Amino acid sequence: MAADLAFVTAPDGRAAIVGADVTAIGPAEAIAARAAELDGAGPVRWAWWAATVDAAPLVAARLPISRCWDIAEAHRLLVGGWDATPQSAWATAHGLDRTRLPVPARGDLFDFSSMEPQDTAVVRSDGYLRPDAGAAQWRPDDTSLVAWGQAALDCAARQSALLAEVSPRSVGAAHSESAAAYLCVELTRDGLPIDRAVATRLIGEWAGPRPDTEAQARETRAQRDALVLRHAPGHEHTDLRNPLQVKDLLASVGVVVPNTRKWVLEPFRDTHPLVKALLEWRKAERIATTYGYPWLDAHVGPDDRLRGGWTACDGAAGRMTAQNGLHNLPTGLRPAVAAHPGHLFVRADLGQIEPRVLAAVSGDETFAAATRADDLYAPVASRLGVERSVAKVAVLAAMYGQRSGAAGEALKGLERAYPVAMAYLDRAYAAGLRREPLRTFGGRLIPLDAILADVPVEGTAAYDAARGRFARNAVIQGSAAELFKAWAATVRATTRDLGAQIVLCLHDELLVHVPAEHAHEVRRRLMVALDDSARRWTGSTQVRFVADASVVERWSDAKD
């Protein structure tokens, strides 16, 4: 059975619990309290359509739910992409064509065509879910809301059966993806602890003092611009925020470039003082515009927590995403991420996760043997008879598809030494060229018929190659994301009795906020959680995963 009990909500603030022996319906707060009793009485796996919607009352009540089935996340595993409405998930689970979903009736009071005979039913006579169910305008009566819960249980069970056909591992993936989705709601609620004084000081160093008036803001901007423009007399009216004008400005001092991107300008840093000043300006401008005082005011709450929305998977390979700078905070601002009084951070990142994941997903026993070393590249280098740095570049080139540079000889060595792993990557690349869908290790479908963003024109060889690289990268990146989420879910479940709270997930890095007296025990459990989740995920102990974990006051602090 995929789940024991469904917990579903209605837009008007009611919730329902539905199971074989239980039915409860009422105000969400009361039903959440009933859920707490049931969850405390014994192990329960909860089903819901989507954590952001249905689990909101449970997260608000700070319930430590650890076992759930998120229909949206399971659907994303099954078919790939990001769309995962209840209607779409239901259709897929029941073998119905999800490209032919019934269209919602127009919200017209006099549109009686939308009134089906059985208006309380959530499933239509043609087998599809009614289109308005679960939508913000839906006003189900109690009978409909209970039916909504029964539909969730049914849908979860069918999804579980479909995933089991993909692989037994996929059912486990659905569990950890579901837990990650619940964690995302908690992350959105809790935010990242910030030292506001340090944040303000750092912003001030880059962006200048906090302006009281618009005139002051203009003056600060003008001063920042002047540091660049003084190097180009006669061009003082150049708008540095306009790349075309910047290109002309650079040409006027003899620096002719196709565009003004940082990596293009970097080689010219010392050829003219204007270039250096411009690169410095860009850095300051980035802080001032994206991570300046408006950002601090908008996203750091009165409790000194930086908040943004979290999602459990993106639309491509399945990594977590976060908004408001949580995933791309410049390293220069990280000293501002600080544990609150009486607390410490346990900070841990997975070492060399992608090559280790390659060893796991490809089943290459020789490459797996290399993962038993703390530094995976050391045994690879010795086997290839090359320097460590060469071995590293070759492995990364193999995984990501190098187009420039020369890893050639070492790549040939990799083909000879680890043919199984290399063949896995080649197959993914070839599938990408043929537009054949792939699956990650945990079974997430990676459709390859979609239009890729920011790539060459369709129909060209360059476009095909871009698709091949995407495919090769996605099976590694996506599988790594699954292991990471399994680890994060395990850490969450095994440390919360100590008051630990995961406050940041960054692809291969975890930041846990914990009462100071429990920090070292949380660090220990975090390492145990990695061993456990890696063993469950890979189904063996052949591939070793390693984490670098330390107890720190600030995110930026040196590792122990």
Partner DNA sequence: TTGACCACGTA
Partner DNA sequence: CGTACGTGGTCAAC
CB of 20 or CB of 457, closer to DNA: 457
| The pair of three-digit structure tokens given for residue 492, joined into one six-digit string | 């969450």
| The pair of three-digit structure tokens given for residue 294, joined into one six-digit string | 């408006």
**Counting contacts by CB under 7 A, is residue 482 touching DNA?**
no
Minimum distance of DNA from residue 237's CB (angstroms): 12
Please tell me the distance from the alpha carbon of residue 495 to that of residue 501, in angstroms, as a whole number: 8
Of the residues 118, 216, 223, 328, which one makes contact with DNA according to CB under 7 A: 328
Please tell me the distance from the alpha carbon of residue 61 to that of residue 328, in angstroms, as a whole number: 30
Minimum distance of DNA from residue 506's CB (angstroms): 5
DSSP codes, 266-290: GGGTTT-HHHHHHHHHHHHHHHHHH
**Counting contacts by CB under 7 A, is residue 110 touching DNA?**
no
Of the residues 228, 317, 390, 519, which one makes contact with DNA according to CB under 7 A: 317
Binding residues for DNA, how many (CB under 7 A)? 61
Please tell me the distance from the alpha carbon of residue 20 to that of residue 4, in angstroms, as a whole number: 8
Beta bridge partners of 514: 344
CB of 163 or CB of 510, closer to DNA: 510
**Counting contacts by CB under 7 A, is residue 283 touching DNA?**
yes
- Dihedral sign (CA 414, 416, 420, 424): positive
CB of 167 or CB of 402, closer to DNA: 402
CB of 139 or CB of 403, closer to DNA: 403
Query: Site mask, DNA, residues 36-75, x = CB under 7 A?
Result: ----------------------------------------
HSE value, Cβ hemisphere, 13 Å, CA-based, for 11: 9
Q: Are 23 and 44 in contact (CB under 8 A)?
A: no
CB of 246 or CB of 514, closer to DNA: 246
Segment interacting with DNA (CB under 7 A) among 18-26, 437-445, 464-472, 538-546: 464-472
Please tell me the distance from the alpha carbon of residue 320 to that of residue 180, in angstroms, as a whole number: 9
Closest CA to 53 of 104, 11, 16: 11
Decide: residue 166, CB within 10 A, 0-12 exposed, 13-18 middle, 19+ buried: middle
**Counting contacts by CB under 7 A, is residue 276 touching DNA?**
no
**Counting contacts by CB under 7 A, is residue 402 touching DNA?**
yes
Query: Site mask, DNA, residues 361-400, x = CB under 7 A?
Result: --------------------------------x--xx-xx
**Counting contacts by CB under 7 A, is residue 331 touching DNA?**
yes
- Residue 81's alpha-carbon distances to 74, 167, 354, in angstroms, are 12, 19, 22
- Dihedral sign (CA 106, 107, 110, 114): positive
CB of 108 or CB of 454, closer to DNA: 454
Q: Which spans of this chain sit near DNA (rule: CB under 7 A)?
A: 239, 241-247, 259-263, 282-283, 286, 289-290, 295, 308, 311, 314-317, 319, 321-325, 327-331, 349, 393, 396-397, 399-405, 452-455, 466, 469-470, 473-474, 477, 506-509
